[in-house]
Structure 1
Amino acid sequence: MNKTAAVRAVIEATSAEPIIFTTGYSSRIAKHLANRPNHFYMTGSMGLAASIGTGIALSSGRRVVVVDGDGALAMNPGCLITAGAFVHLPLFHLVLDDGQYESTGGQEVPSRRVNFTGLAEAAGYSDVWHVDDLNKFRELLHSELPGCATPTFVHCELTERDEPGPPPRIEADLSQHQLGFSGHLASCRDRPTTPRQPIDDSAT
């Protein structure tokens, strides 16, 4: 499983749920695969994806998916304590762990020496998972995400590299992106979740 495959699996398993993509390649890959209004692409603020997701879940009561990175979580492990303190927080927190700060030059992250699942469990996350296989990851998304009503943590160990040549940087006006995402949150109030749709590769 590589980062592109993992991000694709997340997008295909979701519909209207707000998804916070951490800064770097995760955001760039997601925007390239399917630029949907429920996507929030962080461009900066590294380490705060889970904090943003926690705030949205608390204020809206909606299930929120966070696609975090190993380096980003290492910068702000305190976000686990905050999220884990809320027993009924509908937060589905994914960490894609490739062991490097990929978008800044591939500097090593000592993530394989850190027990992220142990940290999440100790912080109060009710369900904690570790996966390193794409099919098992897809199964986990489809079995656990729809009913997520408490802090849930998934450590995704990426064992394969992406193809060279990452998607371009996100250059859109940040204020317009924020308004679009806020508009999506407002439009989803009291609206049932829509059926999941596969990614249309022809549109990218």
Structure 2
Amino acid sequence: MNKTAAVSAVLDAVRTEPIVFTTGYACRIARGIADRPNHFYMTGSMGLASSIAIGIGQQTKRPTVVVDGDGSLLMNPVGLLTAGSMRELPLVHVVLDDGRYASTGGQAVAPAGADFAALALACGYRDVRRVTDVAALGEVLREQMRVCASPVFVHCVLSDVDDLVSARVDLNLHEYTQRLRGHLRGLLAA
């Protein structure tokens, strides 16, 4: 499974609930596959996607997905600590682990082979999953969209590289924020 296949699995399983995509290839791939009102694309602030998703999940009380990267998680693990301490936070934290900073030239993420599942457990996540294929990722996400009531960590191990990645997110970032805000209002009003 590569990053494109993993992001596709997320998009297939999560149709209306909020999804925050980390900066770099994850947000570019998601926007290229299916640009939806429930998406928030990070275009900077590496390492803070989980913080945004935590805020959305806390305020809406609805299952919220964050698609994070291994490098961004290691850059700022505060999201793990925060989410792990919030027992009633409906958050699904998907970490795409390809072992490299793909969008900046493919440099290796240090430390190589970091045990993200152990890190999530140490931070207080009670439900930690490890997936290596699209079917397993989709199954976990579909299940969590039905039952998520506390933080879930999904370590998504990637073994294949992506051929082509979509262009950078090019629209006014304020428009994406307003679009998501309107979508959340609609969800809460329903």
* TM-score (norm: length of structure 1): 0.90
Instruction: Look up the match of 2:138.
Output: 138
Output aligned runs, 1:56-71, within 5 Å.
Answer: 56-71=56-71
Q: Specify the alignment match of 1:85 in structure 2.
A: 85
- Which one-letter code corresponds to 2:57 in the other structure? A
Distance 1:100 1:34 in 2: 25
Deviation at 1:90, TM superposition (A): 0.1
1:132-190: per-residue Cα shift (whole Å, max 9, x none)? 12222222222333211100000001011111x31011110011111111111111104
Matches within 5 A, 1:8-157: 8-110=8-110, 112-157=112-157
Say yes or no: does 1:184 pair with 2:180.
no
Task: Note the C-alpha offset of 1:86.
Answer: 0.6
SS in 2 for 1:145: helix
Deviations 1:57-76 (A, max 9, x none): 11111110000000000101
* 2:169 counterpart of 1:170: yes
Count how many residue pairs are aligned between Structure 1 and Structure 2: 190
Equivalents in 1 of 2:98, 2:113: separation in Å?
12
Shift of residue 100, structure 1, vs aligned partner:
0.7
Kindly indicate whether the alpha-carbon contact (under 8 Å) linking 1:21 and 1:49 is maintained by their aligned counterparts in 2: yes
Identical-residue share of aligned pairs (%): 52
TM-score normalised over the length of structure 2: 0.96
Structure 2, unmatched stretches of 5+, are none
Q: CA RMSD in A?
A: 1.1
Q: Which amino acid aligns with 1:128?
A: V
**Is the CA contact 1:97–1:111 (under 8 Å) kept in the aligned structure 2?**
no
